Amino acid sequence: MVDPHLLFEQLFNGVQYGILLFLLAAGLTLVFGIMDMMNLAHGSLYMLGAYIAATVALATDSFLLGIAVALPSTLVVGIFLEVVILRKLYDRGHLDQVLATFGMILFFNELVRLIWGPAGIEVPLPSILNQSLTLFSIPLPLYRILVIGVGLAVAGFLYVLVVKTKLGMLIRAGASNREMVGALGIDIKKIFTLVFGLGAALAALAGAMAGPIFAATIGMGENILIQVLVVIVIGGIGSIRGAFVGALMIGVIEIMGRSFLGDFFKLFLSGNAAETAAPAAASMLIYILMAGVLFFRPQGLFPARSG
Amino acid sequence: MKLTRETLVVIITFALLAIVPVIASLTEVPFYLDLGRRMMILAIGALSLNLIMGYGGMISFGHAVFVGIGAYVVGICAEHEVVSGFIQWPLALLACSIFAVVFGAISLRTRGVYFIMITLALAQMMYFLGVSLDRYGGDDGLPLAETSDFSGLIDLSEKNNLYYLIFVLLLLCLWICKRLINSRFGMVLQGARSNEARMQAIGFPVFRYQLTAFVIAGVMAGLAGILLANHTEFVNPDMMHWTRSGDLIIMVLLGGMGSLAGPIVGALVFILLEEALSGVTEYWQLIFGPFLILVVLFARGGLLGFLETRQSSDKPSDKPAEGSDD
């Protein structure tokens, strides 16, 4: 029998991981949705945010200052990339976009290796955050609760931004018909630069917050990027709501799968077979889910372009 | 056959590849042989990707998965002491075709970015499967006890033999691709790339054609995988990693997508660049990354496209439009 305490704890970790995925997926899904742009370098911005935050935090001994520096500097890098390179690729096919942003990944990974060396950076937590809250006699790390809180705040902010403001209206309009918005005299390019910058800042926020949990490493961006792509595809490209639901789904499934799939398999497999099959199946779970969703709903769960 | 620049490029390329073993033994640098084999194996992979990407408009970002499956079948067979190539190779190709049917059937339900992402995700799935296959080396990979055994017909552990076998197979693949794209099948495929709705309206079952092409490409990539396993005598999950699929895409675009010889030239140039740049600096991707971006921005049509436009600058290019996936 599965320990209910462990179950709750892992569910909590899954939600926390899902929130991290959401911070990345939110920016990326808007970029995909509005400009129909395939951007693989989003994970590089996440990595950059993590490294900058870690460096500043270690140098100044202030975790908050690290985040405060990482956000604007990654935002600047993001806007630079958009204005200098990506803007020229909107009218190109997805293939060109894939290749150019793939080139960016290679560049950024190597740049980070050159500046920070091949080893990752462990980011220590400030002692205030390095404690646990006990809920129903289950200890929950305060830091992870904070990450969830920040994520929910960002989700709320994005909801208000996209649904309640004029800018949000233009973003939604751009997602459903870019040419028409342009024809009505709106400078859609400026909006996209803004959205891209916002996405870069959110990626940096995710990276900075991921630092103390996973440590900042080269290639951290690509591993999470693929999962973020799965989130976006499941949620429906261009949909913030889809990104939120998809991210929580993937986060929980990913974490719970790793912890409990072995136990689950033991119900109908021999102990040995379950032990060997579980890790393989756990790492494949989210992709199988994605294939399943796409098979029945090729546009994702919350298609943004449907009408 | 009219001697176009493309044909000329093919002839020169193969002539050069044919004398690599001679050069290697004269200069006593066996590394050239190794380099040449790697080039040709990747050329087969790129050739197969070009079939679906360049002619079919299906941008697969997970094509390396078939290279990996082909290699893994050889590796797993060898692990269980089944070393006969007569069993290993057909089995590997069969496995690739089965996976290609399943993956293709799922992926082809989607279009555009979704297609790119689902092929990427399916390949990553297999990558993680490879990583968690502890029985077959997991993350560390699986060394091949011996190369495929063709019971005296050809000894693949003799490196020159393997070289020329790959050489002949690359030629064969090129010939198959040429026949395919000029056949009725190839015409339908290219028609669907340009305007799928129209092809459907004329009455072609586009899905079936695309799936068939996907499977052919998958099997051909599997062949590259079989050869790769015999070449490195080692199999690991990294062969299926999504960056390997990215490499294949780069080769196709570098050489010129939708031209027959493009991927071969692309694979050769890719490996040469990799070798040359990594000789200059340890941080060679710092140069290679921006180089890719520049190629995308300014050298559309790749190297062969560059040649073609110089040859026939007076008539408009009939090259397939890039990114005609949606």
Q: Are A216 and A51 in contact (CB under 8 A)?
A: yes
pLDDT tens digits for range A186-205: 887 888 888 889 999 999 99
B243-249: average pLDDT = 92
Interface touch B290/A290, C-beta < 8 Å = no
Backbone angles phi, psi at A126, to 5 degrees: -60, 145
B171-190: average pLDDT = 93
Quick one: how far is CA B295 from the chain centroid?
Answer: 20
| Any domain includes B321 | no
Which CATH number is B158's domain given? 1.10.3470
Interface touch B129/A105, C-beta < 8 Å = no
DSSP B301-326: THHHHHHHHHHTTTS---PPPTTTT-
Is the pLDDT reported for residue A263 higher than 60? yes
pLDDT of residue B317: 40
B132 touches chain A (CB under 8 A): yes
A157-186: average pLDDT = 83
Q: Pick from A94, A110, A287: which is nearest to B323 by CB? A: A94
B297 touches chain A (CB under 8 A): yes
Residue (of B222, B242, B233, B214) closest to B73 by Cα position: B222
Min CA distance, B29 vs chain A (Å)? Answer: 30
pLDDT of residue B133: 82
pLDDT averaged over every residue in chain A = 85
Interface touch B296/A226, C-beta < 8 Å = no
- Split at pLDDT 50, 70, 90, the class of B102 is very high
DSSP-derived 3-state class of residue A298: coil
pLDDT tens digits for range A218-248: 888 888 888 898 898 888 887 888 899 999 9
Interface touch A233/B118, C-beta < 8 Å = yes
Is the pLDDT reported for residue A174 higher than 70? yes
- Identify the residue among A36, A110, A232 best suited for mutation to test binding to B, counting B beta carbons within 10 A and taking the highest: A110
Q: Which domain holds residue B243?
A: 5-311
B200-228: average pLDDT = 94
pLDDT of residue A306: 41
Is the pLDDT reported for residue A69 higher than 90? yes
Q: What is the C-alpha to C-alpha distance for residues A249 and A64, in angstroms, rounded to an integer?
A: 29
| A82, A137, A235, B18 from A200: Cα distances, Å | 10, 39, 20, 50
Q: Pick from A110, A113, A279: which is nearest to B289 by CB? A: A110
Is the pLDDT reported for residue B308 higher than 70? no
pLDDT of residue B260: 87
- Split at pLDDT 50, 70, 90, the class of B225 is very high
pLDDT of residue B72: 94
Q: Are A255 and A261 in contact (CB under 8 A)?
A: no
Q: Residue A25: its chain B contacts at CB < 8 A?
A: none
| Any domain includes B188 | yes
Interface touch A229/B121, C-beta < 8 Å = yes
Is the pLDDT reported for residue B240 higher than 50? yes
Handedness of CA B54, B222, B138, B275 (dihedral sign): negative
**Percent share of chain B, pLDDT over 90:** 44
Q: Residue B244: its chain A contacts at CB < 8 A?
A: none
pLDDT of residue A108: 93
Q: Residue A284: its chain B contacts at CB < 8 A?
A: 125, 128-129
Q: Pick from A32, A96, A103: which is nearest to B113 by CB? A: A32
B312-326: average pLDDT = 42
Q: Based on the structure, what is the number of domains in chain B?
A: 1
Q: Residue B129: its chain A contacts at CB < 8 A?
A: 280, 283-284
Q: Residue B252: its chain A contacts at CB < 8 A?
A: none
pLDDT of residue B313: 41
Min CA distance, B24 vs chain A (Å)? Answer: 32
Q: Are B69 and B225 in contact (CB under 8 A)?
A: yes
Q: Which of residues 231-260 of B touch A (CB under 8 A)?
A: 242-243, 246, 249-250, 253, 257
Q: Residue A85: its chain B contacts at CB < 8 A?
A: 293, 297
Tokens of A245: 């639901």
Q: Pick from B114, B131, B257: which is nearest to A233 by CB? A: B114
Interface touch B117/A109, C-beta < 8 Å = no
pLDDT of residue A105: 92
Q: Are A69 and A53 in contact (CB under 8 A)?
A: yes
pLDDT of residue B309: 59
B277 touches chain A (CB under 8 A): no
Most confident of B54-58, B148-152, B295-299: B54-58
pLDDT averaged over every residue in chain B = 86
Q: Which of residues 13-32 of B touch A (CB under 8 A)?
A: none
Q: Residue B263: its chain A contacts at CB < 8 A?
A: none
Which H helix or E strand runs over A138? strand A138-141
Q: Which of A41-55, B91-105, B270-284 has the lowest mean pLDDT?
A: B270-284
| Any domain includes B326 | no
All structural domains of chain A with their residue ranges: 8-118+158-296
Q: Residue A237: its chain B contacts at CB < 8 A?
A: 113-114
pLDDT tens digits for range A107-146: 999 999 999 888 888 887 777 777 777 777 777 788 888 8
CB-neighbour burial class of residue A107 (10 A; exposed 0-12, middle 13-18, buried 19+): buried
Q: Residue B322: its chain A contacts at CB < 8 A?
A: 92-93, 95-96
- Split at pLDDT 50, 70, 90, the class of B316 is very low
Min CA distance, A163 vs chain B (Å)? Answer: 25
- Split at pLDDT 50, 70, 90, the class of B326 is very low
Q: Residue A104: its chain B contacts at CB < 8 A?
A: 289, 293
pLDDT of residue A79: 93
B85-95: average pLDDT = 91
- Split at pLDDT 50, 70, 90, the class of B320 is very low
For the beta carbon of residue B67, count every other beta carbon within 10 angstroms.
Answer: 32
Q: Pick from B125, B249, B285: which is nearest to A98 by CB? A: B249
pLDDT of residue A305: 53
Q: Which of A108-117, A285-294, B59-68, B261-270 has the lowest mean pLDDT?
A: A285-294
What stretches of B183-241 show up as alpha helix (H) in DSSP?
184-194, 196-202, 206-232
- Split at pLDDT 50, 70, 90, the class of B121 is confident
Provide, for chain A, the percentages of residues in helix, strand and coil under a 3-state DSSP scheme, each rounded to the nearest 5: 75, 5, 20
pLDDT of residue A71: 93
- Split at pLDDT 50, 70, 90, the class of B267 is very high
- Identify the residue among B135, B293, B322, B325 best suited for mutation to test binding to A, counting A beta carbons within 10 A and taking the highest: B293
Interface touch A94/B112, C-beta < 8 Å = yes
pLDDT of residue B307: 66
Which H helix or E strand runs over A140? strand A138-141
Q: How many CB pairs under 8 A join A and B?
A: 141
Q: Pick from A104, A113, A290: which is nearest to B118 by CB? A: A290
